[in-house]
Structure 1
Amino acid sequence: MKNFVLIFLIFPSIVLCQDFSDRWKGYFSYYNITDLDESGNKVYAAAENAYFIYDIPTQTLQTVTSIEGLSGNKISKIYHSENYGLTCIGYEDGLIQIVMDNNQNIFSVVDIRDKISISPNNKRINNFFEFEGKLYISTDFGIAEYSLQNLEFEDSFFIGTNGSQIQINQITILEGKIYAATSLEGIKSADITSPNLIDFEVWQTEYTGNWKGVLNFSNTIFGLRNNNTISTLQNGTASIFNAVGSNVTGFNVSGEQLVITAANQVSAYNSELNLEAFIDQLQDAEFSINTSVSSNGQYFLGHSSLGLLNFQDSSTTVFSELSPAGPLLNRIFSLEATASDLWVTFGEYDQFLNPFPLNSRGLSHLTEEEWINIDVENLNNARELSNVSIDPSNPNRVFVSSFFDGLLEIENNELIQQYDSSNSIIEGVPSNINDNRIGASVFDSQGNLYFTNSIAENQLKRLNANGEFVNIDMSDGYLNPTETSSSKMVIDNNNNIFIGTLKDGVVAYSPTTNTSALISSNIQGVEFPDTFNANPNITALEIDQNSRLWIGTQAGLRVMSNPTAIFNENQNVRVSPIIIEDVDGLPQELLFEQFITDITTDGANNKWISTADSGVFQVSANGQDILNIFNVDNSPLPTNSVRTVSINQSTGEVFFGTTSGLLSYSSRVTSGNETLENLRAYPNPVRPNYTGLVIIDGLTNGANVKITDVSGNLVFEEFVDGGSLQWDTRAFGKHKVASGVYFIVVTGEDQIETKVGKIMIIR
């Protein structure tokens, strides 16, 4: 009887990844180390979806992120080949990326990830093992064989019962035999020189049971069972070497030592199988180690929240923290940027404004290019930190909203006071006086802080500049305040306030008349998206430079051109979608049915709109033109789930807070300047190989910009909103201008100040 072997061919497919570092920056967290490798006096540390290299002799760091071309997905394994000068990154979705040492080029190997015949749940890369120029890849479906010389797949081995797919956790080779540790079918072995490794019948089960790992150390095969017992394996007999007693998360050979990482200990053995190091305590820190490696008598531990730790003496509990600086976590909830600072919160509440299950995650503060991370223990263990408002009169003072524990006042990165129902007018929800859900907050022009208090009788409160708390009468705005959740809030130039709610629409408040009103679907002219409720969930609010109210919902975008009309006796309001033309010239709604998470305005009144699953859209001032769409396919965004956007108006740096990391994009659009003193254009000169836009900045609001050739012929003219504009080097949008020197003539809005600059175009 013939045995038929089903062979899954993996066709070679390798893609050079794009480097985005010219316009993008990454601010990833490197404090949760998920895997380590040691090679050539360097430690390679995977930190969720990025990695860094620590050079032991020079004590220097190099980071590699999605900015340089990594996918941004969750890394499951990292391995460096000293023989071939490259780093292999394995991902949970089956993607493999190769990073070259010599030029840092990154190649994506998509074969496993894109293979239709393999279930998406079975593509995880579990381990790499290099042998004689080949990389043996342990996956959740079997074994893949990859040539490091040719950078291509050679074979794949499905060694489960009858050639079925089976999870392979680790591979090793000793004395001509390849061993594979499986989760369900024991440790299988075969002759590495066999030409028929694709035939499952050449693989024999030498050791039954469930195995998490197998490796070769000191010419002995060691196996790690699922019950965390480590055994030596010889001639079909498994002899217990170490019953660890807690979950083993790391099992490797590094620095000529066998290194075992468990939930409560790290142990290392020399070639004589004598215990060289035993680490089970960290000075002033919780022992939460994911993996570890050894190198020249030093030990490097991957902690789940402290990053890469270095023990130069394993007999003490003293260690050094080596990870690059960054925010506490990659799961960003909200951002608040100014010219000099960036505050990051990690929240969080869900789309229904439910804060449970509660979490405690601290705060991160970027100032003067230095990260200051404030642990939750230094914030009185306040939970669900969701919003930051910076005091405009004192940038060192901020107020942080907790969606469970009240309002925190922080100055110089230290907690000054925590306000809640025990010491202020803040109210708890009806069922629990200690559940104090403070949402968004904003400062008015007098230095008073307004903030929302969800599911409470008095939903809008004010902390006056003199320290007095005041309840605001919102009886005409909130219909059932003790049943209403509020989240986002914005304020206009006249201190009018607009608050987004879960199901009731937008609540407005005028401090001038001390009146409130409700913008809901019950009002004529309000055209909210259709949802299961009468009103959608208001997920984002923004007042632009023309005093229009932009409203983001879980089902699309709306704009209110005259928001203060809601306070008039004869309300004449209009809340409507923006209608644009698609590529076929047909009308369509801008961001139709998109779940919008945040909206912010840049110096040119363009809108930056983040979404829950489609990335970020940059649209023109009136929304009629989509200027940019940033997503995982065309940018270094690690995910399309972008929760928050904030802009440094002085530099034009746009920060994107995603569920998988923090990044920024240099928009080169800045807010208006006081004078034209800093007028400039760049790049200058514009060389033949440059295909981008010319940026002219240092402008004042409302300035007129004219560009002429040396003969005085006008080739471009525009009035400016904000502090910069972009020119495509075309004459009024038609043909490209010829080589030569061009004058940039800028006249201020008052027509008193004029400034002239020059730019050279080289075709």
Structure 2
Amino acid sequence: MIKLITALFLCCVVNGSYAQDFSDLWQGYFSYNDIKDVVKGNNKIYAASENAVFTYDLSTAQLETITTLHGLSGQTITTIAYNDTYGTLLIGYANGLIEVVSGPEHNILSVVDILDKQTIPPTLKRINHFNMSDGLVYISTDYGISVYDLERLEFGDTFFIGNGGNQINVNQTTILNNTLYAACGNNNAIKSADVSNPNLIDYQQWKTLGNGNFVSVAQVDNRLYAVKTDQVIYEIRNDAFTALFNYSGIPLDTKSVDNKLVVTTPDRIYVYNSSFNLLTTATLTAENNTQFTSAIITENMIFTGTKHLGVLKSSFLNATSFEEIKPEGPLMNDAFKIEAAHNTLWVTYGDYTESYNPFPLRSYGMSQMIDDTWKNTPFDDLLTAQNLNYIAVNPFNPSQVFISACQQGILELNGEVPKILLDHTNSGLESLRVPSSPSTVSVRQTGSLFDRNGVLWTLTCRVDKALKSFNPSTGEWRGYSFKDIIPDAFNDELGFGDITIDRNGTKWIGAFRKGVIGYNENGSKIKNLNTVAQNMPSTVVNAVAVDNNGQLWIGTIKGLRVLYNTAGFFEDSNANVKEIVVLDDGIPQELLSNQYITDIKVDGSNNKWIGTLDAGVFYFSADGQQTIYHFTTDNSPLPSNFIKDISIDAQNGKIYIATAKGLLSFTSGGSTPKEELTNAFVYPNPVRPEYNILGASSLNDINKGVKIKGITENVNIKITDIEGNLVAEAQSRVNLRASSSSYNFAIDGGTAIWNGKNLANNIVASGVYLIMISDLYSFETKVLKLLIIR
């Protein structure tokens, strides 16, 4: 009965966590390479990565994930534990949050008592270990020990057990013979107290055993073992310490499992019986380039968490042969740049500071997702290219990809295989020239993209010819000087990031000191906007995007601006940018005022996706006047409000969002408009009763409603019954699909969505319906037939 009540309560908590339910529209792509902890329970192995959990069924070998899509916070996991009695998984976090996962649906209860506790400094809230006994959980933290009642789902006492009742670091606890033992840091040794003592909140009830710092303590079949930072494991008997073994490194994890002691060091797993006789040792081999982090055993198998390879499975009899166990996913969670093109998502993990300093250099690999299958390429296969960032895919040869490296140049790949590293010795790229160190070589490539003619445009930081073009079909390189606005290339401008190209061939570039730069090689025209007089809120421009109307959207570290007259920019002596003003409860407000903007992307509907440093991602209408969505960690599965990059799959409207703690996609349901109506179609058709797609109150869930796809940019669509009576009508740029709108029929780029309701707001009856599409520009028309069966 207790389990049932708990599950029902948890279900209520989860169902109320999001204001709008977009769960079916999100997909998560988390990395499961870096494992923080491994435990077992319910015939499964549970492995916690940085901010997600996966399970491995011991009977079926089936993998299942638990992520922010299920309601996890997305914060950094430090430890986990499983309770068989209540069938719950406890997850502890670095910030003090605890989540209780229950039931086959992974219902999640967030326990925020420690996280929200004002009297405990944020730096001391880390959850280090869970020790379960008789329905209670003794929680080891950096401030002491807290007790949580699993039956009541509530906290009990907290023990500050340092001298004078001070808050001290407790790494692990265990109970033996009714005594609670705590392994402590801060030179507080082992603390012990009678677990039945009703006054354990009094620090004077606790004894100190030994001296120094202890990382773990565990009991195995009436024996007590503790590991000290001197790398020695001790047996404690009658409060006396006996040294048993000196490890080559400090053990990272110590567990008592099935009357056995499992000790994990960075390169070995030791399994002992209760008498400390060694049963087996798992050892890393040269081919496994990683470190162990934690381990668990079941029968004669060892499951070991690692820093780079997920979980490794081995046997007692052959503990040097490993099988990798982990769900598919990218190399890391902290993606820097992403690019969706031709059914492939490219992910890089390089980085540079806001001022384009590439140091410390990052020697990371890269990832590709091809048709939902991940391929991760290690750094060793990338021809020494470090700090990989922007990705440019050749539109005329999608197998040819160029990835900027902010130190070595550009990495060219063909057929997903690194082919050549382009630098100052074998291409038109240049190294910066340090006046005090002429021999220094640093080819700092950042923003890169192809134009409509298949020419690659790329930016180099701190050189005179900062803009380069490369024609892959001819092999020709050209360089374009910025000397007119940047006389001293090395000192006057630290770097450039984002780049976009308008219909006139003008390249728009975001810079650190020069704001936004416009350059057109036809006439060598160059000009920039970076002053308060030009209405620029900051000289630092992170994002530039040209929309379908030819307007330039500019994202700075202090807000958003739009340059409306891009065509006359070079001739306009008073060129300036404008802020977007919206009405907030009738009061004019600047849109995204003072927001640190990280990225801007324009979708097929000419709507804008805008990422921020700490406020999540915004989705605005074409003119910015309407907020269609605003996703944060509070109302969506985003694991972080720090948006690193956004990329849009123009064919299906899928929006890929890279955050500081993981990568996700959101299926918005829109698509890029077509040039003509020839291939327009409606689906599902027929609409059968079992589909249950009609009557939704909102058009945001693309799993509901009737979709009309393949329409052109500016259309009017009428839906009539077979007798010609008007049932529904929508027009591009008028009936826009948005989270705040109440339309029954709306258009999003190249896709229209109808919820099946008529003008009287009632679901239509069974019958044949005519869909009449008219292009308002070309006057092209098309009629589709739709059968609805209710």
- The answer on 1:211 being equivalent to 2:222 is no
Deviation at 1:175, TM superposition (A): 1.6
Instruction: Confirm or deny: 8 A CA contact 1:20 1:69 kept in the other structure.
Output: no
Residue 405, structure 1, aligned to residue 400, structure 2? no
SS at match of 1:128: strand
Kept in 2: contact 1:283–1:317 (CA 8 A): no
- In the other structure, the counterpart of 2:195 is 192
Q: Structure 1 residue 445: deviation in Å?
A: 2.2
Contact 1:398 1:410 in 2 (8 A): yes
**1:545 counterpart letter in structure 2:** N
Q: 1:389 aligns with which of 378, 388, 392?
A: 392
Matched-pair contact (CA < 8 Å) for 2:716–2:729: no
Shift, 1:165, TM fit? 2.4
- Give 1:199 deviation, angstroms: 3.0
Whether the aligned pair in 2 keeps the contact of 1:421 and 1:436 (CA below 8 Å) is: yes
- Cα gap change, 1:265/1:468 in structure 2, threshold over 3 Å: closer, same or farther? same
AA partner of residue 753 (structure 1)? T
Measure the CA separation in 2 of the matches of 1:375 and 1:635: 31
**Which of 419, 423, 427 pairs up with 1:420?**
423
5+ residue gaps in structure 1? 1-11
2:395 and 2:145 map into 1 onto residues whose CA distance is 59
Q: 1:398 and 1:114, CA in 2 relative to 1: closer, same or farther beyond 3 A?
A: same
Q: How many residues align?
A: 740
- Cα distance between partner residues in 2 of 1:701 and 1:251: 62
Q: Is the 8 A contact 1:566 1:572 kept in 2?
A: no
> Structure 2 residue aligned with 1:32, among 31, 34, 37?
34
Pair 1:554–1:39, CA change in 2 (3 A): same
Q: CA deviation at 1:316?
A: 5.3
Q: Give CA deviations for 1:707-737 in whole Å, capped at 9, x if unaligned.
A: 45676236433125721245677888xx745
Change (3 A) 1:136 1:614: same
Which of 450, 454, 468 is the equivalent residue of 1:447?
454
Secondary structure class of the residue paired with 2:490: helix
Cα–Cα, structure 1 residues 314 and 614, in superposed 2: closer, same or farther, change >3 Å? farther
| Alignment deviations for residues 379-438 of structure 1 (CA, whole Å, 9 cap, x no partner) | 112111011000111111100000101011101121111111122221111125420001
Deviations 1:42-64 (A, max 9, x none): 22111001110112232111111
Give 1:663's aligned residue.
Answer: 664
| Most deviating of 642-651 and 419-428 | 419-428
2:731 matched residue in structure 1:
718
Distance in 2 (CA, whole Å) between partners of 1:743 and 1:231 is 81
Deviation of 1:578 (Å) = 0.9
Instruction: Compute the displacement of 1:135 (Å).
Output: 1.6
Cα distance in structure 1, aligned partners of 2:312 and 2:728? 60
CA distance in 1, matches of 2:199, 2:355: 56
**How far did 1:147 drift?**
2.0
8 Å CA contact retained: 1:449, 1:463: yes
Aligned to 1:565, what secondary structure does the other structure show? coil
TM-score (norm 1): 0.92
Decide whether aligned partners of structure 1 residues 103 and 451 sit closer, same or farther in structure 2, where only a CA change above 3 A counts: closer
Equivalent residue, structure 2, for 1:8? none
Query: TM-score, normalising length from structure 2?
Result: 0.89
Say if 1:163 and 1:93 are closer, same or farther in 2 by CA, change over 3 A.
same
**C-alpha distance 209-761 of structure 1, shift in aligned 2 (>3 A):** farther
1:612-638 deviations in Å (ceiling 9; x for gaps): 111101000011111111111111111
- What letter matches 1:439 in structure 2? T
Q: Does 1:51 align with 2:53?
A: yes
- C-alpha displacement of 1:278: 2.0
Is 1:498–2:501 an aligned residue pair? no
Partner in structure 2 of residue 752 of structure 1: 780
Change (3 A) 1:711 1:32: same
Matched residue type, 2:715: A
TM superposition shift of 1:224? 1.3
Q: How much does 1:755 deviate?
A: 2.5
Note if 1:515 corresponds to 2:527.
no
Number of the residue aligned with 1:3: none
Q: Distance in 2 between matches of 1:304 and 1:636?
A: 25
Matches of 1:691 and 1:472 in 2, distance apart?
Answer: 50
**C-alpha contact 1:565 1:571 (8 A) present in aligned 2:** no
1:686 shift after superposition: 4.6
- Residue 666 of structure 1, CA deviation: 1.0
Displacement of 1:295 in angstroms is 1.8
1:7 is matched with none
Matching residue's letter, 2:510: G
**Residue pair 2:714, 2:731 contacting (<8 A) in 1 also:** no
Paired residues for 1:359-374 under 5 Å: 359-374=362-377
**Cα distance between partner residues in 2 of 1:721 and 1:224:** 61
In 2: Cα distance, 1:380 partner to 1:314 partner: 39
Specify the SS of the correspondent of 1:563: coil
Range that drifts further, 621-630 or 240-249: 240-249
Matched with 1:703 is 715
Task: Report deviation, 1:543.
Answer: 0.9
Q: What amino acid sits opposite 2:378 in the alignment?
A: D
> What does residue 672 of structure 1 align with?
673
Preserved CA contact (<8 Å) 2:699 2:753: no
* 1:498–1:478 distance in 2 versus 1, CA, 3 Å: farther
Deviation at 1:268, TM superposition (A): 1.4
2:695·2:756 contact (CA, 8 Å) conserved in 1?
no
Q: Give the distance between the partners of 1:731 and 1:622, measured in 2 at CA.
A: 29
- Larger mean CA deviation between 130-139 and 686-695 belongs to 686-695
The SS at the match of 2:148 is strand
Q: How big is each residue's C-alpha offset from its partner over 1:626-665, in whole Å with a ceiling of 9 and x where there is no partner?
A: 1111111111111110010111111111111011110111
1-side partners of 2:531 and 2:126: how far apart?
A: 51
1:487 aligns with 2:485: no
SS in 2 for 1:201: helix
* Change beyond 3 A, Cα 1:585–1:436: same
Q: Any stretches of 5+ residues in structure 2 without a counterpart?
A: 1-8, 733-746
RMSD, matched Cα: 2.5
Task: Give the letter aligned to residue 206 of structure 1.
Answer: L
One-letter amino acid of the counterpart of residue 773, structure 2: V
Select 1:266's aligned residue among 266, 269, 273: 269
Partner Cα distance (2:485, 2:757) in 1: 51
Out of 273, 278, 285, which is 1:275 matched to?
278
Closer/same/farther in 2, CA of residues 158 and 743 from structure 1, 3 Å limit: farther
What's the CA shift for 1:510? 2.0
